[in-house]
Amino acid sequence: MMPEDMIALVKAYFTAVDAKDLPGILATMTPDCRFTVETHGVVLDSRAEIEAMFARLWRHHRQVRHDLFTFVADPDLARIAAQFQVENRLSDGTLVHKSNCNFFRLRRGLFAEINVYMAGENTLRADDTPTID
């Protein structure tokens, strides 16, 4: 993939996240995609776990928005990093702002691994989410 294709895939992923479009999110991932929140010790190794994580995110937030992206793409290694701002509107209307960075590893044009580095509270975790020991 060319850098612009990698960037387009990341943008498609976040557009789907912000639109609460689970099929759109899953369309960017390999069936065996591994999703981690490195800053909070969360590891998700199945589609069911990833789907449940997004369902929890959307249930606890009225709105999520990702913008102001900066990308570093390495097509030779099939990896791309994205730094961005996050604005979450909680169920009670409170706005929460974050600065995050995600690292994506691609295989055959889809994300095989997503590693999240998140500032502040982990909005992608519930008590039943597996953690790295």
pTM (predicted TM-score):
0.88
Q: What is the pLDDT of residue 94?
A: 84
* Domain definitions of the chain by residue range: 3-118
Helix or strand run (H / E) with residue 51: helix 47-60
Note the pLDDT tens digit of each residue in 95-121: 888 899 999 999 999 999 999 998 766
Q: For the segment 50-79, what is each residue's pLDDT rounded down to a tens digit?
A: 999 888 888 888 888 999 999 999 999 999
pLDDT in the model for residue 93: 84
**Three-state SS at 54:** helix
Is the Cβ–Cβ distance between 54 and 22 less than 8 Å?
Answer: yes
Please report the pLDDT score of residue 133 as a whole number: 33
pLDDT value at position 125?
55
Average pLDDT, the chain: 89
Which amino acid is present at 80?
A: I
Sole residue written with tokens 């290694």: 77
Topology of the domain comprising 3-118: Nuclear Transport Factor 2; Chain: A, (3.10.450)
Report the relative pairing of strands 79-90 and 110-118 from DSSP bridges: unpaired
What CA–CA distance (Å, rounded) separates 57 from 78?
Answer: 28
> Regarding predicted confidence, which is higher, 99 or 12?
12
Q: From residue 107, give the alpha-carbon distance in Å to each of 47, 80, 102.
A: 16, 12, 16
